[in-house]
Structure 1
Amino acid sequence: MKTPIPDYLETLLDSVREDTSGEVADYIPELAAADPDPLGMALCTMSGRIYGAGDDRRMFSIQSVSKPFVYALALQQRGWDKVQETVSAEPSGEAFHELSLESGTNRPMNPMINAGAIAVNQLINGEDSSVDDRVEVIREFFCELAGRELQINRQLCYSELEDAERNLSIAHMLRNYKVIQDEAHDAVLSYTLQCATEINARDLAVMSATLAGGGIQPVTGKRILNPDVCRMALAVMASAGMYDAAGRWMTTVGIPAKSGVSGGLIGSLPGQLGIATFSPRLDAQGNSVRGVGIFQKLSADMGLHLMAADPYGDSALRNIHTEGDATVIRLQGKVNFSAAENILNEMETEDFGGRRIVLDIERVSSFNKVGRRMIKEALRRYREQGHDVAIYDPENILTDLVYSDGTEAETLDSLKEHSLEEKD
């Protein structure tokens, strides 16, 4: 059976596809000329399974989405005390390119705004590093996070440098207060090359999942970052990743996130998922319009808000047992997206030799919207493959028994009469 998750992602893309509000970043020549219409997204689970839809392989520059990753690298290389001396971790409530520093300390307010990101960039590989060496360390780190080779778009970098007066002003300000040591031009060059790394939504989903998983790259299984480093990076993403819209974002969406002016948007939900979207049109805060819309729907459908009390549902699959010519799939607890994804993956590995498939949800306490949708769609597809499919739901937990094609699921009044009861 083909998993229904990519189809669900396509439905999400379709729900925002007609929204053509917002504008591409017109202050960078290369981005001003970019096609505004691509739309893609990807999810990566803690087990390294990647699901994508739309233009999920379309390459674009990472831009400010690089900031939490480079912040994590600085924490890993230099430690909390050194990084905290250089940049604070407080929300600024200001635009990402504001020329302002923390009162009293003259540090940038946080690493998610340009002043903080330029300062953090200068910590990588030591303050005495050359621009080329520093940028190569960052590029190699991004490659490890993504699990594949990535390249820097130098043409884009030089295009950005043609109109970099504001970032140069920030760098001069940082140098004046001895926050950085490099010449302002070198600092901006290094930071701009960092932002010009070419990635796609699938790469970013895996990179985000690495933060969500406490530093273990979920596809390669390699530990890249310490868990405490990931915790700090996620905390700053939660408080400042969406710039002056961060407070509204956390109350409505509730997923630590970071946006970029090329149209990328990432979210890392600790212990569950890495999420990435790509759509170039931006709102007034510099965040992807359609990307924000997708995240809002994901949070609502999947119950992904960080402050929600719902458990993750990793143990929702009680067992899969074949009895005679029937296979019984027994679920338990709360079934949300993470639970449903694990269940579907286990079902894909099963050889349902018996023609009959019975879903036993007697011990399920609840389904959220997307968990119910995924499980029902899987059953419908097994039925289309020729299996005789039924549901045992004595507590009427599923509530809606209608499949996506308008037909209704068969139900069983009892497992005992079919000799399908679980044996002690």
Structure 2
Amino acid sequence: MTSSQPRPPLPRVSHRIGSIAESATLAVDAKAKALKAAGRPVIGFGAGEPDFPTPDYVVAAAVAAAQDPANHRYTPAGGLPDLKAAIVAKTERDSGFACAPENVLVTNGGKQAVYNTFAALLDPGDEVLLLAPYWTTYPEAIRLAGGEPVEVFADETQGYRVTVDQLESARTDHTKVLLFNSPANPTGAVYTPDQVRAIGRWAHEHGVWVVTDEIYEHLRYDGVPLASMPVEVPELVDTCVVLNGVAKTYAMTGWRVGWMIGPKDVVKAATNLQSHATSNVANVSQRAAVAALSGSLEAVTQMRTAFDRRRRTIVSMLNEIDGVECPTPEGAFYAYPSVKGVLGRTIRGRTPKTSVELAELILEEAEVAVVPGEAFGPSGYLRLSYALGDADLEEGVGRIQRLLGEAK
């Protein structure tokens, strides 16, 4: 008989979950809010969250829904029929893409739509071409689903838009999905219809699925057209998933309503997953989303006008800083300046070599919170959301101007 040996202690947290990086944008936002709560005059450019209240008619619909006992109970895990119908109608109205309710899964915000999609599509070892700079949640959702993100980077000289040649260079026998985002977070880049068609046809030719995130579809400026991938390349419909939600368009970040639109078998698989993970989205939020999608776009137009004004201001002010180059974003509500010309210079006795170090310096010395480029891909960049008030925007960028103006 062998003597029993004590078993080595097992990890307290699984490797799969322990390897997830914290959301950099939410971390910056939380730090800024904590400093403000402590009495520091911090201005935060971190979170992509409109500073406008949710439109009154949407709130009124939620109040009425909360008073209806029917909304106090479980409902279908995949979404209320009324909301699915509203999503179908809204999608055809706004992008020209026709789908059916069985192609729709309503999720707890856009992030769950992203994760559910990759969980339904990926097996271990499947590769996802990830356009970089990318939203910080994308690679984590891909890895959680067992996939491997493969970054395809386009810098400011390309307007942060990748080419078909770059995609083809990154494609391997393991490539299953291309993750596409236009208008894009964090850069505000918008692909032209010709570029969307070229990328979509390339994907179809090589049997690559496309997951296209269209959550910023209404936030486009200077007359830039909307180009939805399955509309521009209809032969992709059976291998394309469209992600969207109410958060950005209707100032409803806290209501947590997103959705995915895709082939019936993929949506059914993702619905099965959600039935075990979270079940239905809160009914009051779903009823509010019905009101948002079915109502007027007047409030959206007013918000976009304000964002456009702020966009012009922030780009102009950032480009006045020596060593900073900020392309004009055509969509969303982010500026993504290159700060490579500032790195390596001395500011108040410190010489930042990375955008992480520069962001820390800006927070500590100017009391302005920005997100470093490492959260979205390579170093050398900062992301600033201009979804905040005009006065705070001008004061915050003014502080950055004065601080970086000391660089030697």
Q: Fold-level match, TM-score > 0.5? A: no
Q: TM bucket by the smaller chain?
A: under 0.3
Instruction: Point out the structure with max Rg over C-alpha.
Output: 1
Normalising by structure 2, we get a TM-score of: 0.27
Normalising by structure 1, we get a TM-score of: 0.27
Which protein, 1 or 2, shows the higher relative CO under an 8 Å CA cutoff with sep ≥ 6? 2
